[in-house]
Structure 1
Amino acid sequence: MSGQGTRRGRVAAAAAGGLLMAVVVGAVGYTVDTVKDADRASGAPVWTPPTASAEGEKEKPATGLAGALVPYRSDGWTRGPDLGEFGADVALSGAHAAALTKESLSDLPRSQRKEMEKEIDRLHITGVAMRSYATTGGFHNGEQTGAATLSIVLTRMNQGAARSGASGRNKAFEALDVFEAGPKIKGHENARCYRLPGESDEEFDIMFCTASQGDVLVSAAAEGVRPFGAKGVAALLTEQLDRLDGTGAAV
Protein backbone atom coordinates (compact mmCIF):
# COMPACT_ATOMS: atom_id res chain seq x y z
CA MET A 1 0.00 0.00 0.00
CA SER A 2 1.32 3.48 -0.84
CA GLY A 3 2.15 6.06 1.83
CA GLN A 4 -0.96 8.03 0.94
CA GLY A 5 -3.06 4.87 0.98
CA THR A 6 -1.66 3.93 4.39
CA ARG A 7 -2.58 7.34 5.73
CA ARG A 8 -6.12 6.98 4.38
CA GLY A 9 -6.45 3.58 6.02
CA ARG A 10 -5.27 4.91 9.36
CA VAL A 11 -7.65 7.86 9.25
CA ALA A 12 -10.56 5.55 8.41
CA ALA A 13 -9.66 3.03 11.10
CA ALA A 14 -9.34 5.64 13.82
CA ALA A 15 -12.52 7.46 12.85
CA ALA A 16 -14.64 4.33 12.47
CA GLY A 17 -13.29 2.74 15.66
CA GLY A 18 -14.44 5.69 17.79
CA LEU A 19 -17.75 6.49 16.12
CA LEU A 20 -19.73 7.07 19.30
CA MET A 21 -17.01 9.21 20.84
CA ALA A 22 -16.57 11.19 17.63
CA VAL A 23 -20.30 11.88 17.45
CA VAL A 24 -20.59 13.19 20.99
CA VAL A 25 -17.21 14.90 21.27
CA GLY A 26 -17.61 16.28 17.76
CA ALA A 27 -20.67 18.18 18.89
CA VAL A 28 -18.44 20.34 21.07
CA GLY A 29 -15.96 21.12 18.32
CA TYR A 30 -13.32 18.45 18.99
CA THR A 31 -13.82 16.54 15.75
CA VAL A 32 -11.34 18.51 13.65
CA ASP A 33 -8.41 17.78 15.97
CA THR A 34 -9.47 14.16 16.43
CA VAL A 35 -9.63 13.43 12.70
CA LYS A 36 -6.49 15.39 11.86
CA ASP A 37 -4.56 13.37 14.44
CA ALA A 38 -6.00 10.05 13.24
CA ASP A 39 -3.21 9.44 10.72
CA ARG A 40 -0.84 8.94 13.62
CA ALA A 41 -2.81 5.92 14.81
CA SER A 42 -1.32 2.52 14.03
CA GLY A 43 -2.94 -0.23 12.00
CA ALA A 44 -5.40 -0.34 9.13
CA PRO A 45 -9.00 -1.53 8.76
CA VAL A 46 -9.41 -5.28 9.06
CA TRP A 47 -12.26 -6.56 6.91
CA THR A 48 -14.38 -9.49 8.01
CA PRO A 49 -17.14 -10.44 5.55
CA PRO A 50 -20.55 -10.07 7.22
CA THR A 51 -22.60 -13.14 8.03
CA ALA A 52 -26.17 -12.92 6.83
CA SER A 53 -28.84 -13.13 9.52
CA ALA A 54 -30.90 -16.27 9.69
CA GLU A 55 -34.03 -16.19 7.57
CA GLY A 56 -36.96 -14.92 9.56
CA GLU A 57 -34.80 -13.53 12.38
CA LYS A 58 -37.03 -11.48 14.69
CA GLU A 59 -36.09 -8.09 16.05
CA LYS A 60 -36.50 -7.22 19.69
CA PRO A 61 -39.24 -4.61 20.07
CA ALA A 62 -37.70 -1.17 20.53
CA THR A 63 -39.14 2.10 21.72
CA GLY A 64 -37.91 5.67 21.99
CA LEU A 65 -34.75 6.58 20.11
CA ALA A 66 -33.90 2.92 19.48
CA GLY A 67 -37.32 2.47 17.91
CA ALA A 68 -36.46 5.15 15.35
CA LEU A 69 -33.56 3.14 13.91
CA VAL A 70 -34.15 1.49 10.51
CA PRO A 71 -35.09 -2.18 11.11
CA TYR A 72 -33.00 -5.09 9.84
CA ARG A 73 -34.21 -6.86 6.70
CA SER A 74 -33.55 -10.44 5.68
CA ASP A 75 -33.34 -9.40 2.00
CA GLY A 76 -31.06 -6.39 2.44
CA TRP A 77 -29.29 -4.82 5.40
CA THR A 78 -29.07 -7.53 8.09
CA ARG A 79 -27.48 -7.51 11.55
CA GLY A 80 -23.87 -6.35 11.37
CA PRO A 81 -20.76 -6.82 13.51
CA ASP A 82 -20.52 -5.67 17.13
CA LEU A 83 -19.82 -1.99 17.72
CA GLY A 84 -16.89 -2.51 20.05
CA GLU A 85 -18.06 -3.60 23.50
CA PHE A 86 -21.66 -2.57 22.84
CA GLY A 87 -22.95 -5.28 20.49
CA ALA A 88 -24.70 -4.72 17.16
CA ASP A 89 -27.88 -3.12 18.49
CA VAL A 90 -27.78 -1.02 21.65
CA ALA A 91 -29.39 1.91 23.43
CA LEU A 92 -27.59 3.95 26.09
CA SER A 93 -28.91 6.47 28.57
CA GLY A 94 -27.66 10.03 28.26
CA ALA A 95 -25.72 9.70 31.50
CA HIS A 96 -24.01 6.52 30.30
CA ALA A 97 -23.07 8.03 26.93
CA ALA A 98 -21.73 11.20 28.56
CA ALA A 99 -19.67 9.17 31.04
CA LEU A 100 -18.15 7.06 28.25
CA THR A 101 -17.30 10.17 26.28
CA LYS A 102 -15.60 11.76 29.27
CA GLU A 103 -13.56 8.60 29.76
CA SER A 104 -12.29 8.96 26.20
CA LEU A 105 -10.74 12.33 27.15
CA SER A 106 -8.43 10.84 29.78
CA ASP A 107 -5.26 11.49 27.75
CA LEU A 108 -5.90 15.23 27.48
CA PRO A 109 -4.20 17.73 29.82
CA ARG A 110 -6.28 18.22 32.96
CA SER A 111 -7.37 21.79 32.21
CA GLN A 112 -8.44 20.92 28.67
CA ARG A 113 -10.19 17.76 29.83
CA LYS A 114 -12.18 19.66 32.47
CA GLU A 115 -13.29 22.25 29.92
CA MET A 116 -14.36 19.52 27.51
CA GLU A 117 -16.29 17.75 30.26
CA LYS A 118 -18.20 20.97 30.97
CA GLU A 119 -19.03 21.30 27.28
CA ILE A 120 -20.29 17.70 27.19
CA ASP A 121 -22.57 18.47 30.15
CA ARG A 122 -23.94 21.50 28.26
CA LEU A 123 -25.09 19.21 25.43
CA HIS A 124 -27.76 17.72 27.72
CA ILE A 125 -27.47 14.28 26.10
CA THR A 126 -30.60 12.29 26.93
CA GLY A 127 -29.95 9.10 24.96
CA VAL A 128 -27.94 7.29 22.31
CA ALA A 129 -29.07 4.46 20.01
CA MET A 130 -26.64 2.55 17.79
CA ARG A 131 -27.17 -0.18 15.23
CA SER A 132 -24.79 -1.99 12.90
CA TYR A 133 -25.85 -3.38 9.52
CA ALA A 134 -24.27 -5.71 6.96
CA THR A 135 -24.87 -6.75 3.37
CA THR A 136 -23.21 -9.49 1.36
CA GLY A 137 -23.47 -7.41 -1.80
CA GLY A 138 -25.28 -7.89 -5.08
CA PHE A 139 -27.26 -5.59 -7.38
CA HIS A 140 -28.97 -2.95 -5.25
CA ASN A 141 -30.23 0.58 -5.92
CA GLY A 142 -29.09 0.37 -9.51
CA GLU A 143 -25.48 -0.53 -8.76
CA GLN A 144 -23.39 -3.67 -8.40
CA THR A 145 -21.98 -3.78 -4.88
CA GLY A 146 -19.57 -5.78 -2.78
CA ALA A 147 -19.94 -6.84 0.86
CA ALA A 148 -20.20 -3.93 3.29
CA THR A 149 -21.01 -2.95 6.86
CA LEU A 150 -22.68 0.22 8.09
CA SER A 151 -23.16 1.65 11.57
CA ILE A 152 -25.65 4.38 12.51
CA VAL A 153 -25.58 6.36 15.74
CA LEU A 154 -28.48 8.55 16.91
CA THR A 155 -27.63 10.96 19.73
CA ARG A 156 -30.40 13.03 21.32
CA MET A 157 -29.13 16.30 22.79
CA ASN A 158 -29.73 20.03 22.86
CA GLN A 159 -31.18 20.94 19.44
CA GLY A 160 -28.66 23.71 18.79
CA ALA A 161 -25.81 21.35 19.68
CA ALA A 162 -27.14 18.70 17.31
CA ARG A 163 -27.24 21.21 14.48
CA SER A 164 -23.79 22.67 15.18
CA GLY A 165 -22.37 19.20 15.80
CA ALA A 166 -23.40 18.05 12.34
CA SER A 167 -22.01 21.23 10.79
CA GLY A 168 -18.72 20.89 12.70
CA ARG A 169 -18.16 17.28 11.68
CA ASN A 170 -18.88 18.09 8.05
CA LYS A 171 -16.42 20.99 8.10
CA ALA A 172 -13.81 18.67 9.59
CA PHE A 173 -14.14 16.20 6.72
CA GLU A 174 -14.13 19.04 4.17
CA ALA A 175 -10.84 20.28 5.63
CA LEU A 176 -9.12 16.95 4.98
CA ASP A 177 -7.53 16.02 1.65
CA VAL A 178 -8.29 12.34 2.30
CA PHE A 179 -11.98 12.33 1.34
CA GLU A 180 -14.19 13.59 -1.46
CA ALA A 181 -17.90 14.45 -1.42
CA GLY A 182 -20.19 11.41 -1.42
CA PRO A 183 -23.76 11.08 -2.70
CA LYS A 184 -26.41 13.60 -1.68
CA ILE A 185 -29.14 12.62 0.76
CA LYS A 186 -32.45 13.35 -0.94
CA GLY A 187 -34.76 15.66 0.98
CA HIS A 188 -32.21 16.46 3.71
CA GLU A 189 -30.18 19.54 2.86
CA ASN A 190 -27.97 19.50 5.96
CA ALA A 191 -26.84 15.88 5.46
CA ARG A 192 -23.37 15.35 4.00
CA CYS A 193 -21.40 12.23 3.05
CA TYR A 194 -17.63 11.88 2.44
CA ARG A 195 -15.75 8.90 0.99
CA LEU A 196 -12.39 7.86 -0.36
CA PRO A 197 -11.68 9.15 -3.89
CA GLY A 198 -13.15 7.01 -6.65
CA GLU A 199 -9.78 6.64 -8.38
CA SER A 200 -8.22 5.12 -5.28
CA ASP A 201 -6.54 1.75 -5.93
CA GLU A 202 -7.33 0.47 -2.43
CA GLU A 203 -9.39 -2.70 -2.10
CA PHE A 204 -11.75 -1.18 0.47
CA ASP A 205 -13.85 1.96 0.49
CA ILE A 206 -15.01 4.07 3.43
CA MET A 207 -17.84 6.58 3.70
CA PHE A 208 -18.94 8.82 6.57
CA CYS A 209 -22.23 10.74 6.72
CA THR A 210 -23.56 13.25 9.24
CA ALA A 211 -26.84 15.13 9.64
CA SER A 212 -29.14 16.54 12.30
CA GLN A 213 -32.89 16.15 12.55
CA GLY A 214 -34.48 18.19 15.30
CA ASP A 215 -32.63 17.38 18.51
CA VAL A 216 -30.99 14.23 17.12
CA LEU A 217 -27.45 14.13 15.74
CA VAL A 218 -27.26 11.34 13.15
CA SER A 219 -23.91 9.83 12.17
CA ALA A 220 -23.13 6.89 9.89
CA ALA A 221 -19.93 5.08 8.95
CA ALA A 222 -19.78 2.50 6.14
CA GLU A 223 -16.94 0.25 5.04
CA GLY A 224 -16.88 -2.28 2.21
CA VAL A 225 -15.02 -3.95 -0.60
CA ARG A 226 -15.12 -2.39 -4.04
CA PRO A 227 -17.38 -1.93 -5.92
CA PHE A 228 -18.71 0.01 -2.95
CA GLY A 229 -22.48 0.56 -2.69
CA ALA A 230 -22.46 4.29 -1.93
CA LYS A 231 -26.00 4.70 -3.31
CA GLY A 232 -27.27 1.92 -1.04
CA VAL A 233 -25.69 3.54 2.01
CA ALA A 234 -27.20 6.91 1.03
CA ALA A 235 -30.62 5.26 0.57
CA LEU A 236 -30.50 3.73 4.06
CA LEU A 237 -29.44 7.04 5.59
CA THR A 238 -32.28 8.79 3.74
CA GLU A 239 -34.72 6.27 5.18
CA GLN A 240 -33.23 6.81 8.64
CA LEU A 241 -33.69 10.57 8.46
CA ASP A 242 -37.21 10.13 7.08
CA ARG A 243 -38.05 8.08 10.17
CA LEU A 244 -37.33 11.14 12.33
CA ASP A 245 -39.63 14.12 12.05
CA GLY A 246 -38.51 17.74 12.42
CA THR A 247 -38.27 17.40 16.20
CA GLY A 248 -36.22 14.22 16.10
CA ALA A 249 -39.15 12.01 17.07
CA ALA A 250 -39.83 8.68 15.37
CA VAL A 251 -42.52 8.72 12.68
Structure 2
Amino acid sequence: MSDAGMSGEVGEESAGNPGESPIPSVKRRALRAGAAVAAAVLLGVGIGVGIIKSQYRQTSATPAAHTPAAAPSPGAARPSYGAQSDGTHFGAMRDLLLPVPTGFALGPDDGVYGDDTELTKDQIDGYLDDRVAELPKDQRDKVKAALQAQGHQAAGVRSYRSSDGALVATVWLDRFDKQAVEAANAFDAAMGSDSGLFRQGPAVPGHQQAACFLPPLRPSNPIDELDCTAGVGDMLVTMHVEGVAPLPKSEAVSIFRQQLERLAVPGATA
Protein backbone atom coordinates (compact mmCIF):
# COMPACT_ATOMS: atom_id res chain seq x y z
CA MET A 1 0.00 0.00 0.00
CA SER A 2 1.05 3.61 -0.28
CA ASP A 3 1.90 5.79 2.69
CA ALA A 4 -1.50 5.75 4.35
CA GLY A 5 0.02 6.43 7.74
CA MET A 6 0.86 10.04 6.93
CA SER A 7 -2.42 11.54 8.09
CA GLY A 8 -1.00 12.74 11.38
CA GLU A 9 1.46 14.91 9.46
CA VAL A 10 -1.33 16.18 7.24
CA GLY A 11 -3.50 17.05 10.21
CA GLU A 12 -0.72 19.11 11.74
CA GLU A 13 0.04 20.97 8.51
CA SER A 14 -3.62 21.62 7.73
CA ALA A 15 -4.06 23.82 10.77
CA GLY A 16 -2.71 26.75 8.77
CA ASN A 17 -4.03 30.22 8.23
CA PRO A 18 -7.81 30.68 8.07
CA GLY A 19 -9.11 30.71 4.53
CA GLU A 20 -6.30 28.55 3.14
CA SER A 21 -7.07 25.27 1.44
CA PRO A 22 -7.33 22.50 4.07
CA ILE A 23 -5.27 20.23 1.83
CA PRO A 24 -1.54 21.01 2.16
CA SER A 25 1.11 20.66 -0.48
CA VAL A 26 2.18 17.04 -0.68
CA LYS A 27 5.51 16.74 1.13
CA ARG A 28 5.56 12.98 1.70
CA ARG A 29 7.73 10.67 -0.36
CA ALA A 30 6.33 9.69 -3.73
CA LEU A 31 3.91 6.78 -3.84
CA ARG A 32 5.95 3.63 -3.87
CA ALA A 33 3.85 1.68 -6.35
CA GLY A 34 6.24 -1.27 -6.19
CA ALA A 35 6.20 -1.54 -2.40
CA ALA A 36 4.03 -4.64 -2.69
CA VAL A 37 6.66 -6.29 -4.87
CA ALA A 38 9.30 -5.38 -2.28
CA ALA A 39 7.20 -6.88 0.49
CA ALA A 40 6.71 -10.04 -1.55
CA VAL A 41 10.48 -10.27 -2.05
CA LEU A 42 11.06 -10.03 1.71
CA LEU A 43 8.41 -12.65 2.46
CA GLY A 44 9.93 -15.00 -0.09
CA VAL A 45 8.14 -18.26 -0.77
CA GLY A 46 6.23 -18.27 2.51
CA ILE A 47 2.89 -16.76 3.42
CA GLY A 48 3.34 -13.74 1.15
CA VAL A 49 3.35 -15.83 -2.02
CA GLY A 50 0.36 -17.77 -0.70
CA ILE A 51 -1.56 -14.53 -0.23
CA ILE A 52 -0.59 -13.36 -3.70
CA LYS A 53 -1.71 -16.59 -5.37
CA SER A 54 -4.93 -16.81 -3.39
CA GLN A 55 -5.88 -13.18 -3.92
CA TYR A 56 -5.02 -13.23 -7.61
CA ARG A 57 -7.22 -16.29 -8.13
CA GLN A 58 -10.06 -14.43 -6.44
CA THR A 59 -9.64 -11.23 -8.40
CA SER A 60 -9.18 -12.93 -11.75
CA ALA A 61 -11.75 -15.70 -11.41
CA THR A 62 -14.79 -13.58 -12.28
CA PRO A 63 -14.13 -11.05 -15.03
CA ALA A 64 -15.83 -7.71 -14.64
CA ALA A 65 -17.83 -6.29 -17.49
CA HIS A 66 -16.65 -2.98 -18.84
CA THR A 67 -16.25 -1.32 -22.18
CA PRO A 68 -12.85 -2.29 -23.62
CA ALA A 69 -10.77 0.06 -25.66
CA ALA A 70 -11.54 -0.29 -29.34
CA ALA A 71 -8.82 -1.93 -31.41
CA PRO A 72 -7.67 0.20 -34.35
CA SER A 73 -9.33 -0.71 -37.62
CA PRO A 74 -7.14 -2.19 -40.36
CA GLY A 75 -5.22 0.52 -42.14
CA ALA A 76 -5.95 3.11 -39.47
CA ALA A 77 -3.10 5.28 -38.25
CA ARG A 78 -1.51 3.96 -35.07
CA PRO A 79 -2.40 6.15 -32.07
CA SER A 80 0.41 7.81 -30.15
CA TYR A 81 -0.39 5.88 -26.98
CA GLY A 82 -2.51 2.93 -25.89
CA ALA A 83 -2.44 -0.79 -25.23
CA GLN A 84 -1.74 -3.82 -27.38
CA SER A 85 -4.00 -6.87 -27.20
CA ASP A 86 -1.32 -8.68 -25.16
CA GLY A 87 -1.57 -6.06 -22.41
CA THR A 88 1.61 -4.14 -23.15
CA HIS A 89 1.28 -0.36 -23.34
CA PHE A 90 3.05 2.05 -25.66
CA GLY A 91 3.49 5.80 -25.75
CA ALA A 92 4.68 8.42 -23.28
CA MET A 93 3.65 7.99 -19.66
CA ARG A 94 2.31 11.55 -19.66
CA ASP A 95 -0.04 10.56 -22.49
CA LEU A 96 -1.13 7.40 -20.67
CA LEU A 97 -1.93 9.37 -17.52
CA LEU A 98 -5.47 10.72 -17.28
CA PRO A 99 -5.74 14.32 -18.51
CA VAL A 100 -6.96 16.78 -15.89
CA PRO A 101 -10.76 16.25 -15.65
CA THR A 102 -13.33 19.02 -15.64
CA GLY A 103 -13.58 20.57 -12.20
CA PHE A 104 -9.93 19.83 -11.39
CA ALA A 105 -6.54 21.45 -11.94
CA LEU A 106 -3.03 20.11 -11.56
CA GLY A 107 -2.34 19.54 -7.89
CA PRO A 108 0.72 19.90 -5.65
CA ASP A 109 4.06 18.26 -6.31
CA ASP A 110 4.50 14.72 -5.01
CA GLY A 111 7.86 15.11 -3.37
CA VAL A 112 10.69 15.73 -5.83
CA TYR A 113 8.71 14.19 -8.68
CA GLY A 114 6.42 17.11 -9.45
CA ASP A 115 2.74 17.11 -10.36
CA ASP A 116 2.92 16.10 -14.05
CA THR A 117 6.04 14.08 -14.76
CA GLU A 118 7.40 11.16 -16.74
CA LEU A 119 10.47 10.01 -14.84
CA THR A 120 13.81 9.93 -16.62
CA LYS A 121 16.13 6.92 -16.33
CA ASP A 122 18.16 8.76 -13.71
CA GLN A 123 15.03 9.62 -11.74
CA ILE A 124 13.82 6.02 -11.86
CA ASP A 125 17.01 4.86 -10.17
CA GLY A 126 16.39 7.36 -7.37
CA TYR A 127 12.71 6.39 -7.34
CA LEU A 128 13.63 2.77 -6.62
CA ASP A 129 15.96 3.95 -3.85
CA ASP A 130 13.09 5.98 -2.44
CA ARG A 131 10.78 2.98 -2.34
CA VAL A 132 13.21 0.85 -0.32
CA ALA A 133 14.43 3.66 1.95
CA GLU A 134 12.50 2.48 5.00
CA LEU A 135 13.73 -1.11 4.77
CA PRO A 136 16.60 -2.35 6.98
CA LYS A 137 19.92 -1.36 5.46
CA ASP A 138 20.96 -4.97 4.79
CA GLN A 139 17.80 -5.52 2.73
CA ARG A 140 17.76 -2.40 0.55
CA ASP A 141 20.14 -3.52 -2.20
CA LYS A 142 18.51 -6.96 -2.33
CA VAL A 143 15.02 -5.56 -2.74
CA LYS A 144 16.08 -2.87 -5.20
CA ALA A 145 17.78 -5.53 -7.33
CA ALA A 146 14.61 -7.62 -7.19
CA LEU A 147 12.52 -4.64 -8.29
CA GLN A 148 14.87 -4.04 -11.20
CA ALA A 149 14.66 -7.73 -12.09
CA GLN A 150 10.88 -7.39 -12.33
CA GLY A 151 11.43 -5.30 -15.43
CA HIS A 152 10.56 -1.83 -14.15
CA GLN A 153 10.61 0.19 -17.36
CA ALA A 154 8.93 3.51 -16.75
CA ALA A 155 7.00 5.60 -14.26
CA GLY A 156 4.86 8.70 -14.36
CA VAL A 157 2.89 10.81 -11.91
CA ARG A 158 0.11 13.38 -12.13
CA SER A 159 -1.77 15.06 -9.30
CA TYR A 160 -5.23 16.58 -9.42
CA ARG A 161 -6.75 19.21 -7.12
CA SER A 162 -10.50 19.82 -7.08
CA SER A 163 -11.67 23.32 -7.89
CA ASP A 164 -12.76 23.90 -4.28
CA GLY A 165 -9.37 22.74 -2.99
CA ALA A 166 -10.97 20.09 -0.79
CA LEU A 167 -9.53 17.03 -2.53
CA VAL A 168 -6.14 16.10 -3.98
CA ALA A 169 -5.61 12.85 -5.90
CA THR A 170 -2.15 11.69 -6.97
CA VAL A 171 -1.92 8.93 -9.59
CA TRP A 172 1.22 6.92 -10.33
CA LEU A 173 1.75 4.63 -13.31
CA ASP A 174 4.54 2.04 -13.16
CA ARG A 175 5.32 -0.21 -16.10
CA PHE A 176 6.53 -3.66 -15.03
CA ASP A 177 6.62 -7.16 -16.36
CA LYS A 178 2.95 -8.24 -16.53
CA GLN A 179 3.36 -11.07 -14.04
CA ALA A 180 5.01 -8.69 -11.58
CA VAL A 181 2.08 -6.28 -11.99
CA GLU A 182 -0.38 -9.08 -11.25
CA ALA A 183 1.55 -10.14 -8.16
CA ALA A 184 2.01 -6.60 -6.87
CA ASN A 185 -1.64 -5.69 -7.32
CA ALA A 186 -2.82 -8.93 -5.71
CA PHE A 187 -0.46 -8.49 -2.78
CA ASP A 188 -1.56 -4.87 -2.27
CA ALA A 189 -5.22 -5.92 -2.36
CA ALA A 190 -4.62 -8.79 0.06
CA MET A 191 -2.71 -6.61 2.50
CA GLY A 192 -5.48 -4.03 2.40
CA SER A 193 -8.27 -6.51 2.98
CA ASP A 194 -6.63 -9.15 5.19
CA SER A 195 -4.18 -7.27 7.39
CA GLY A 196 -6.79 -5.48 9.50
CA LEU A 197 -4.84 -2.23 9.14
CA PHE A 198 -7.25 -0.56 6.73
CA ARG A 199 -10.94 0.06 6.24
CA GLN A 200 -12.49 -1.35 3.11
CA GLY A 201 -12.90 1.37 0.51
CA PRO A 202 -15.43 1.79 -2.29
CA ALA A 203 -15.57 -0.45 -5.34
CA VAL A 204 -14.50 0.86 -8.73
CA PRO A 205 -17.44 0.22 -11.09
CA GLY A 206 -16.57 -2.09 -13.96
CA HIS A 207 -13.10 -2.89 -12.61
CA GLN A 208 -13.22 -5.82 -10.23
CA GLN A 209 -9.44 -6.11 -10.21
CA ALA A 210 -9.17 -2.69 -8.57
CA ALA A 211 -9.13 -2.31 -4.80
CA CYS A 212 -9.50 0.78 -2.61
CA PHE A 213 -8.77 1.14 1.10
CA LEU A 214 -8.95 3.79 3.80
CA PRO A 215 -6.76 4.24 6.88
CA PRO A 216 -8.16 3.58 10.38
CA LEU A 217 -10.93 6.00 11.26
CA ARG A 218 -9.78 8.96 13.38
CA PRO A 219 -12.91 11.02 14.08
CA SER A 220 -10.98 14.06 15.32
CA ASN A 221 -8.88 14.31 12.14
CA PRO A 222 -10.37 16.76 9.61
CA ILE A 223 -8.52 15.02 6.75
CA ASP A 224 -9.35 11.58 5.39
CA GLU A 225 -7.43 9.49 2.88
CA LEU A 226 -8.01 6.80 0.28
CA ASP A 227 -5.61 4.49 -1.56
CA CYS A 228 -6.48 2.52 -4.70
CA THR A 229 -4.51 -0.02 -6.70
CA ALA A 230 -5.09 -1.91 -9.95
CA GLY A 231 -3.13 -3.75 -12.60
CA VAL A 232 -3.83 -3.25 -16.31
CA GLY A 233 -1.58 -5.45 -18.43
CA ASP A 234 1.98 -4.31 -17.79
CA MET A 235 0.84 -1.17 -15.94
CA LEU A 236 0.51 -0.92 -12.17
CA VAL A 237 -1.82 1.96 -11.27
CA THR A 238 -1.89 3.46 -7.77
CA MET A 239 -3.74 6.47 -6.46
CA HIS A 240 -3.49 8.31 -3.15
CA VAL A 241 -6.26 10.74 -2.23
CA GLU A 242 -6.44 13.28 0.59
CA GLY A 243 -9.56 15.28 1.27
CA VAL A 244 -11.65 17.04 3.84
CA ALA A 245 -13.61 14.52 5.89
CA PRO A 246 -16.03 13.11 4.96
CA LEU A 247 -14.02 12.28 1.85
CA PRO A 248 -15.99 12.65 -1.43
CA LYS A 249 -15.24 9.05 -2.41
CA SER A 250 -17.31 9.11 -5.60
CA GLU A 251 -15.14 11.90 -7.05
CA ALA A 252 -11.97 10.03 -6.15
CA VAL A 253 -13.22 6.74 -7.56
CA SER A 254 -14.30 8.49 -10.75
CA ILE A 255 -10.72 9.67 -11.36
CA PHE A 256 -9.38 6.16 -10.80
CA ARG A 257 -12.04 4.60 -13.06
CA GLN A 258 -11.28 7.07 -15.86
CA GLN A 259 -7.57 6.33 -15.53
CA LEU A 260 -8.16 2.58 -15.83
CA GLU A 261 -10.37 3.06 -18.87
CA ARG A 262 -7.67 5.15 -20.54
CA LEU A 263 -5.34 2.15 -20.13
CA ALA A 264 -7.91 -0.47 -21.15
CA VAL A 265 -6.57 -3.38 -23.22
CA PRO A 266 -8.44 -3.95 -26.54
CA GLY A 267 -10.71 -6.98 -26.29
CA ALA A 268 -10.15 -7.48 -22.55
CA THR A 269 -13.04 -8.44 -20.30
CA ALA A 270 -11.45 -7.69 -16.94
Could you say which residue in structure 2 is the equivalent of 1:69? Answer: 97
Given residue 24 of structure 1, which amino acid in structure 2 is its aligned partner?
Answer: G
CA distance in 1, matches of 2:240, 2:35: 16
Say whether residues 1:124 and 2:134 are aligned partners: no
After superposing the two structures, state which structure 1 stretch, 216-225 or 168-177, moved more: 168-177
Say whether residues 1:210 and 2:237 are aligned partners: no
Could you say which residue in structure 2 is the equivalent of 1:161? Answer: 180
CA distance in 2, matches of 1:160, 1:236: 25
Give the Å deviation of 1:131.
0.2
Q: Tell me which of the two structures has the higher relative contact order, counting C-alpha pairs closer than 8 angstroms and 6 or more residues apart.
A: 2
Say whether residues 1:17 and 2:28 are aligned partners: yes
- Name structure 2 gaps, 5 residues minimum: 12-26, 44-79, 82-90
CA distance in 1, matches of 2:40, 2:178: 18
- SS of match in other structure, 2:203: coil
Task: Assess if the C-alpha contact under 8 Å between 2:105 and 2:163 holds in 1.
Answer: no
Change (3 A) 1:175 1:9: farther
TM-score (norm. length: structure 1)? 0.69
Q: What pairs with 1:37-186 in structure 2 (closer than 5 Å)? A: 63-73=91-101, 75-93=102-120, 96-102=123-129, 104-105=131-132, 108-137=135-164, 147-186=166-205
Task: Assess if the C-alpha contact under 8 Å between 1:191 and 1:211 holds in 2.
Answer: yes
CA distance in 2, matches of 1:10, 1:128: 28
Given residue 209 of structure 2, which amino acid in structure 1 is its aligned partner?
Answer: N
TM-score (norm. length: structure 2)? 0.65
Could you say which residue in structure 1 is the equivalent of 2:19? Answer: none
- Percent sequence identity is 23
Task: Assess if the C-alpha contact under 8 Å between 1:32 and 1:169 holds in 2.
Answer: no
Give the Å deviation of 1:129.
0.9
Deviation per residue, 1:154-195 (Å, 9 max, x gap): 000100111111111222222444421111111111100012
Task: Report the number of matched residues.
Answer: 203
Given residue 25 of structure 1, which amino acid in structure 2 is its aligned partner?
Answer: A
Could you say which residue in structure 1 is the equivalent of 2:256? Answer: 237
Larger Rg: 2
Give the Å deviation of 1:90.
0.4
Change (3 A) 1:104 1:162: closer
Change (3 A) 1:31 1:69: farther
Task: Assess if the C-alpha contact under 8 Å between 2:171 and 2:237 holds in 1.
Answer: yes
CA distance in 2, matches of 1:230, 1:32: 33
Task: Assess if the C-alpha contact under 8 Å between 1:83 and 1:132 holds in 2.
Answer: yes
Give the Å deviation of 1:110.
5.0
Task: Assess if the C-alpha contact under 8 Å between 1:8 and 1:178 holds in 2.
Answer: no
- SS of match in other structure, 1:27: helix
Task: Assess if the C-alpha contact under 8 Å between 2:106 and 2:161 holds in 1.
Answer: yes
Deviation per residue, 1:115-160 (Å, 9 max, x gap): 21221121111110100000144xxxxxxxx711000000001001
